[in-house]
Amino acid sequence: MTRRTGVWLWRWRRNPLRRTSDVVEAWILLVAWVLAVVGGVLAGVLTAGAMQRAADRVRAETHPVPAVVTQEAARGGIRPVSSSLGWGTVRWTDADGSARTGRTRVPVSATPGAHVTVWTNGQGTLVPPPASRADIAFQTTLGGLWAGSTAVGVVFGGAKLARTRLDRRRFAQWDEEWARVDTPWGWKTG
């Protein structure tokens, strides 16, 4: 049984048919693979970390506050949230003791006077509830994968563009060489 030795490394081996453009192409491929692996992992980790920090900041800035429904949720309104939630008006007491009123999502079954929990930020403004830990983990993982994949795509796209330009240059050189070879014999191949 014969073993094929390094056919996939043909650009690196010395042979009389190897051109400078073959060596340049080999270096382009090597650098592209290294940049794709390192850049993809780095972009993914940095993006996931940034998303995690942003989600942690949002979780730290939002607080649950008890509130009272003052106007029941609109059923069949313009913007239904889901089948069990609707937009209703609530009243709550802010951290400084002042009474506040605003519209937020409340259960459709909540009647005026019902007690609900709403979420506020540091300024006392109503905000959506923060994402759960599982949702945050999913979003950061997905964001990291998208960023890593994008980085890999950009690197390989650049390598493909460089190889395409290199191929055009190589084809032009071959045309020149054929023109030199054919002319002394008096033939024209094209």
Residue 10 lies in a domain: no
Residue 33 lies in a domain: no
- Give the residue-averaged pLDDT of 133-141: 94
Range of the domain at 85: 62-132
How confident is residue 176, by pLDDT bands cut at 50, 70 and 90? confident
- Give the residue-averaged pLDDT of 152-175: 92
Percent of the chain with pLDDT over 70: 83
Number of domains present in the structure of the chain:
1
Q: In this model, does residue 77 exceed pLDDT 60?
A: no
Q: In this model, does residue 2 exceed pLDDT 60?
A: no
Residue 75 lies in a domain: yes
Residue 185 lies in a domain: no
pLDDT tens-digit series, residues 92-131: 988 778 888 888 888 888 888 889 999 988 788 889 888 8
> Does the global pTM surpass 0.85?
no
Looking at this protein, which amino acid is placed at residue 174? W
DSSP 8-state code for residue 74: P
- The reported pLDDT for the residue numbered 188 is 59
**DSSP sequence for 120-168:** E-TTS-EEPPPPPHHHHHHHHHHHHHHHHHHHHHHHHHHHHHHHHHHHH
Contact 111, 68 (CB under 8 A): no
Residue 96 lies in a domain: yes
Residue 76 lies in a domain: yes
- The reported pLDDT for the residue numbered 145 is 96
